Structure 1
Amino acid sequence: MSHMPHIPPDATADQARALLAAAGWREVGTGNWSWAFADPEDRLAARVTPFDPAYRLHAQACLDGPANRWLPRVDAILPLLRDGYVTVMERLYPAPEADAHAFCTALGIVNESGYELPHVDGFDQADADLELLRERIRALMATGAQRFKLWGGSDIRPGNLMADAEGRLKVVDPIFIRGPLIVEGIAEGRRDMLTDFSHEQLKDFLTIPVFEPGPETDGLRRKLAALLGPISPPPPV
């Protein structure tokens, strides 16, 4: 992996971002859960997150293979502190919207994140890999549903498709966990909603990019500390 700096496995996501920037990588995008960097030659990308269990399932499946023309090439998943990680993969670019819409129709997996997929005909590239992709995404959906109480399911939509340097479509983020319900559980003191996650994992969750510095995020951190802090013994009678 040319130009890839050494990132220690105990580094935080912020430290990983600083190491990438120092090595000449530039930030090319920020999502709700991660920051994306491109290497100086625009050949590789690095997706950095302190916590994102849904994308980890997808990235691991891409890394383990087999290769599929509709999935990005993942070269490595580098561990960070606790459950953070850096996904090193091929460099991708925005996909033509019309092509992405037609692809979603051809794939035929209903979106479960609240995005209403319009039906768009005209996709003429259906092949064996598309059928295998459909099976793999459904298998990931089933795995996530078994592991997480707040599992979301399919997030197939045009915004989660990108294209490689030759313009070939790639599915980059097909599944999701319900982050807003994690926030709700923290805000409302619902320990029963948060049993999938440790205190440290939830602290890391509150550092993903969607939580901008400010009073709202500070308030959630205070509620998390109170929710999962030590329980005081009852007062003497």
Structure 2
Amino acid sequence: MTSEEAVPYREVIGLLGQQADHRDAEQALRAAGWTPCGVGDWAIALRSPDGAAAVRISPFDPAGPYSAALYREAAHTGQVPRLYAHRRLTGGGDLQVLEWLRPVPEDEAVAFHRKIATRAAEVAELVDVVRRVHERARRELPWCGPLDNNPDNVMRARDGRLVVADLYYADGPTLYATAATDPGLVVALIPEAERRFMTEIPLAASGPWEPGAQEAMRAGLAAADAQVASRLHG
């Protein structure tokens, strides 16, 4: 796809208001003809009207900027998805418009991950970027996880290229357990503006949420925020 052909997907950003959150983004894209095509733990996905692109919308995704950085910095390898647009959303959400990808057989995906792990010659340039961006994430991102070798993260583009996506993530189980048991630590490390909707991730794969867990977590974080505000102004 040429840069001119990608323009309609980049223009998705223009559909969003300046303060758009994940709900606003989904509503705007659905109104523009994008249709649901998937849901995971952290995000939902919508497919473009022409079927050639998908948008990933997350209510809360601290790792989103690092994935976007990988797609940009490793674009020359052809082994990451084409990124048409990226936008941080109000409240800590993340929106990425990517080329449409198809799943591959598990054995093929595992073999590709093995090449990445061993820095095989055919993926050496990709691995160099993967490691560089991951080191940046480990320095900057609280609860940064290791590289994700889930076979589902290896897919095939419409032109036949094998690509890898979603290698970076916040360690969800540890982060959310901490939010439930020590909300003050989460408040200290992640600004409120970047975690406002952390209880709204779908958890479609590892969930569902336990009854009342979201409300309790929101209340605990709000109380910890109030304590910080009281100390600052008290």
Residue 160 of structure 1 pairs with residue 153 of structure 2 = yes
State the Cα distance separating 1:212 from its structure 2 match: 4.9
2:185 aligns with one of 178, 182, 192 = 192
Residue 147 of structure 1 pairs with residue 144 of structure 2 = no
Gaps of 5+ in 1: 111-125
Gaps of 5+ in 2: 1-6
Q: Is the 8 A contact 2:187 2:225 kept in 1?
A: no
Write the mapping of 1:47-66 to structure 2, written as runs, cut at 5 A: 47-66=56-75
Q: Which residue of 2 aligns with 1:215?
A: 212
Q: Which amino acid aligns with 2:99?
A: E
Distance 2:110 2:181 in 1: 37
Secondary structure of the equivalent of 1:175? Answer: coil
Distance 1:193 1:12 in 2: 21
Identical-pair percentage: 26
Q: Which residue of 1 aligns with 2:100?
A: 91
Write the mapping of 1:171-190 to structure 2, written as runs, cut at 5 A: 171-190=164-183
Aligned alpha-carbon RMSD (Å): 2.4
Distance 1:151 1:109 in 2: 22
State the Cα distance separating 1:219 from its structure 2 match: 1.5
Distance 2:187 2:151 in 1: 30
Q: Which amino acid aligns with 1:196?
A: L
Distance 2:103 2:82 in 1: 16
Distance 2:216 2:45 in 1: 27
State the Cα distance separating 1:190 from its structure 2 match: 4.8
Inter-CA distance 15–214: structure 2 relative to 1 (3 Å threshold): farther
State the Cα distance separating 1:16 from its structure 2 match: 0.6
Q: Is the 8 A contact 1:50 1:207 kept in 2?
A: yes
2:162 aligns with one of 164, 169, 193 = 169
State the Cα distance separating 1:68 from its structure 2 match: 1.7
Residue 80 of structure 1 pairs with residue 89 of structure 2 = yes
More helix by share: 2
Residue by residue over 1:185-219, the C-alpha shift from the partner in whole angstroms, topping out at 9 and shown as x without a partner, is 22112523553201232332122222759412112
Q: Which amino acid aligns with 1:11?
A: A
